[in-house]
Amino acid sequence: MSHSNRPVRRLAPWLGLALLAVAPAIGMAAEPPPPPTPAQVQACIKQMDLSGQWTFDWKTIEFGPPRHAQNPYERSGLADPDTAFGYPVHAVYVFNHIETIDARYWMTQDQAGRWRIPSMCRP
């Protein structure tokens, strides 16, 4: 019986060293990037206006704390949705001098580091 335990004892030091080498990478969470700027949010939302003829009178742009995606919409387009951070964004603006829009968006970065709102912004 002790003979079957011997290979485990010999592997244990190597396994321990391997775990020590990998443990910092496993245990350390990536730091979230700084939030987008209000100008980046505005530029992304303005992409809805394909002909450049709409007006946006910006009232409020607020950012929530960084977090990981929580649903399929937020995960869309992310290279690694389990580790990527995004920001909830609350924007209020008057659209075309007619309608006040009070909306919540989700912003993440693409592979090139550009901020995007899924299904709205294009590179």
- Backbone phi, then psi, for 87, in 5-degree steps? -130, 130
Q: How confident is the model at residue 100 (pLDDT cuts 50, 70, 90)?
A: very high
Mean pLDDT rounded to a whole number for the chain: 81
Task: Read off φ and ψ for residue 68, nearest 5 degrees.
Answer: -85, 160
Rounded Cα distance, 90 and 104, in Å: 5
pLDDT number for residue 65: 97
pTM above 0.75, yes or no: no
Please give the Cα distance from 93 to 105 (Å, whole number).
13
| Chain segment 29-84, per-residue pLDDT in tens | 589 999 999 999 999 999 999 999 999 999 999 999 999 999 999 998 788 888 99
pLDDT for the residue numbered 12: 44
Cα distance between residue 66 and residue 32, in whole Å:
7
